[in-house]
Amino acid sequence: WQKQMYFASIFKTLKLSNTDRDSLYVEEALKKFPNNRMIRIAHQSIILGLDKIGSANLFDQEALKFYNEKDYENANKFWKKAIEIIPNDQAYYFNWARSLTLNKNFSTSDSILMEVKTKNFLIDNGELEFLRAMNYIDNISDNKFRVCNLLKESKAKGFEAAENVLRQLEQQIGC
């Protein structure tokens, strides 16, 4: 599947192919292998085209620049633009949510993460639960149960950062 999607995306890029069959194959491949990075890339290339992907990546680069400068408001604006172009890219949503969390806009961040959870493009590796836990950790005295459960769920899915935070919280508050 991966090789087929790879070649289909190359053929479309080189304008050697532009069939509905390619779109059907890539949709089927993504359903069968939703966590396969190469198939996800081929899907975006075939369905959206490289021009849209390039535009979204430029917005993402600008957002990262602002994020690194701790200008979270501007970072948020650029990630929203990237999402408008590619509405099924988990990384854009997660970066936007992280930026909102660092800007202490916890409820909006959590809403975005819950929205991602309902979409069919989620790579379920525990990162979502970890990011949600970070939205509640500032007020841990009122959210101990929620934070601990989200971190445990994240750890169970193999997200390493959750294990580190959970270990610290176990010592501090007995998660």
pLDDT digits (tens, 9 = 90+) for 96-120: 999 999 999 999 999 999 999 888 6
Helices within 33-159 (DSSP H only): 37-48, 50-68, 72-85, 90-102, 106-118, 127-136, 140-156
Question: Residue 8: what pLDDT?
Answer: 47
- What is the pLDDT at residue 126? 93
Average pLDDT rounded to a whole number, residues 78-90:
92
Q: Are 101 and 76 in contact (CB under 8 A)?
A: no
Whole-angstrom Cα Rg for the chain: 18
Q: What is the pLDDT of residue 21?
A: 67
Q: What is the pLDDT of residue 15?
A: 47
Does the pLDDT of residue 170 top 70, yes or no? Answer: yes
- Residues 158-173, mean pLDDT to the nearest whole number: 91
153-156, Cβ contacts within 8 angstroms, sequence gap of 24 or more? 153/126, 153/129, 154/126, 154/127, 154/128, 154/129, 154/130, 155/126, 156/126
pTM, two decimals, is 0.74
* Mean pLDDT rounded to a whole number for the chain: 83
- How much is the average pLDDT of 27-32? 73
Query: Span 45-49, mean pLDDT?
Result: 69
Q: Are 172 and 148 in contact (CB under 8 A)?
A: no
- Which tops the pLDDT comparison, 6 or 56? 56
pLDDT at 65: 97
Residue 40: the pLDDT is: 67
Closest by CA to 1, choosing from 26, 34, 22, is 26
